[in-house]
A and B are shown apart, each in its own frame.
Chain A
Amino acid sequence: MNKNKWGFIILGLAIFVIGITFPFWYGKGKSTPPPLLSLDTPAITALTEKRCVEDTAFMRANHMKLLDAWRDEAVREGHRLYTAKNGRTFEKSLTGTCLQCHSNKEQFCDRCHNYVGAKPSCFNCHIIPGEVKQ
């Protein structure tokens, strides 16, 4: 009886260890290719200098922080113009500024958000210009 008990405990521990390490050994050696982000929109094609609000590296790493700051400054402080590091000014607006160039949300925003499992709630309220119901 006593031996039987230890058997159950070890079996239980083994199942637990297998279960908790499952994602590591299951995913080993596999790689998911990073998403291809499309910049092929009419507004971006028309740009002479292909530059977002800030440079690409900064935007890739910090766009969420920038948008959070824009949100608070525009709504709470009423400061609606953003001056970029190179002196250009932009209206702090997701629909009015970001999505005017990146009008292909599905091929740009969504692809990367799905890849990293980010679920931003921006578009619960903010409108995607192409999707407006008439």
Chain B
Amino acid sequence: MTTNRREFLKIAGASALTLVAPAILCPAWAKENVITPSRALTAQRWGMAVDPSKCRADCTDCITACHAVHNVPNFGNPKDEIKWIWTEPFASVFPAEDHTYQGQSLQKLRMPVLCNHCTNPPCVRVCPTKATFQRPDGIVMMDYHRCIGCRLCMAACPYGARSMNYREPRPFIAKINPDFPTRTKGVVEKCNFCEERLVKGLLPACVEACKEKALVFGDMENTRSAIRRLIESRFNLRRRANLGTNPQIYYIL
């Protein structure tokens, strides 16, 4: 049997339509599911770029947004402080780059710091219960159900990105967000790159809250992503990268 050009095009067209069909039919099912896999943001490796020069002085929008969304308690005491995202002066963020003759603008700069979601995370390696683990998309996540509060991860993390609940945190949460659990006394907590928001198709709370667009979040492995192009075009530093942790927070300076 021979197929002429007309027949071939008909079959090719019909085949192409079947590829589009699921996308058209999907909304009928989607109503029933609160979270559809199609809506979730996914990546091969999540990363974040921080441009501290865009930060307004004394701005705490990202911190406020993050800590409100994740029910982070405020014990009113720096010793017990729980931090998911916070600010540090340049000399603390990049101790190796600081010197006597560093310009005033850099020395005075306070920049947002958070968990670096390292590709080679020391906290994951030391956790005896696998409460801290690394997801395939690079997020270093905590399973609070398994945390026994041994604090080995706090000792292992070179960035101080982990905080321990020495006391029952619930009475110290200003306003509880019912969509996210609190923690309990005796567990360690840290930034989770808003994985609970990514699955709903939302960007991390800090990124969304930043009016100056100082925080850029995206897929490091995607050569066409905004973050990848930004990192390729601007000079950037990572915190204590010489330790071999391969951190995924990039500071544009």
Of A76, A124, A125, A134, which is within 8 A of B133 by CB?
A: A76
B 166-184 to A, binary, CB cutoff 8 A, 1 in contact else 0: 0000000101101101111
Most chain B beta-carbon neighbours within 10 Å: one of A121, A125, A129: A125
- Assess whether B144 is interfacial by the CB under 8 Å rule: yes
- Assess whether A105 is interfacial by the CB under 8 Å rule: no
Contact B183 A125 (CB under 8 A): yes
Besides A76-B133, A91-B35, A132-B178, 9 other A-B contacts (C-beta < 8 A): A75-B143, A81-B33, A95-B181, A125-B144, A125-B184, A126-B181, A127-B178, A133-B175, A133-B176
Residues of A within 8 A of B143 (CB): 75-76
Give complex CA distance A129, B184 in Å. Answer: 17
A 102-134 to B, binary, CB cutoff 8 A, 1 in contact else 0: 000000000000000000010011110100111
Contact B32 A89 (CB under 8 A): yes
Within 8 A of B (CB), among A77-94: 78, 80-81, 88-89, 91
Closest to B136 in A: A78
Closest to B137 in A: A78
Closest to B141 in A: A75
Please give the number of chain B residues whose Cβ is less than 8 angstroms from any Cβ of chain A in the complex.
22
- Assess whether B127 is interfacial by the CB under 8 Å rule: no
Interface residues of A (CB under 8 A from B): 71, 75-76, 78, 80-81, 88-89, 91, 95-96, 121, 124-127, 129, 132-134
Give complex CA distance A48, B234 in Å. Answer: 59
Residues of B within 8 A of A133 (CB): 173, 175-176
Contact B176 A124 (CB under 8 A): no
- Assess whether B5 is interfacial by the CB under 8 Å rule: no
Residues of B within 8 A of A127 (CB): 176, 178, 181-182
Contact B181 A96 (CB under 8 A): no
Give complex CA distance A121, B34 in Å. Answer: 26
B 139-178 to A, binary, CB cutoff 8 A, 1 in contact else 0: 0010111000000000000000000000000000101101
Give complex CA distance A88, B32 in Å. Answer: 9
Contact B179 A75 (CB under 8 A): no
Supposing A80-B199, A91-B35, A132-B176 touch, asked if A71 and B145 sit within 8 A by C-beta, the answer is yes
Supposing A76-B133, A80-B199, A133-B176 touch, asked if A125 and B181 sit within 8 A by C-beta, the answer is yes
- Assess whether B99 is interfacial by the CB under 8 Å rule: no
- Assess whether B135 is interfacial by the CB under 8 Å rule: yes
Of A71, A124, A125, A129, which is within 8 A of B178 by CB?
A: A129
Contact A75 B199 (CB under 8 A): no
Give complex CA distance A112, B1 in Å. Answer: 73
Give complex CA distance A91, B199 in Å. Answer: 12
Closest to A128 in B: B178
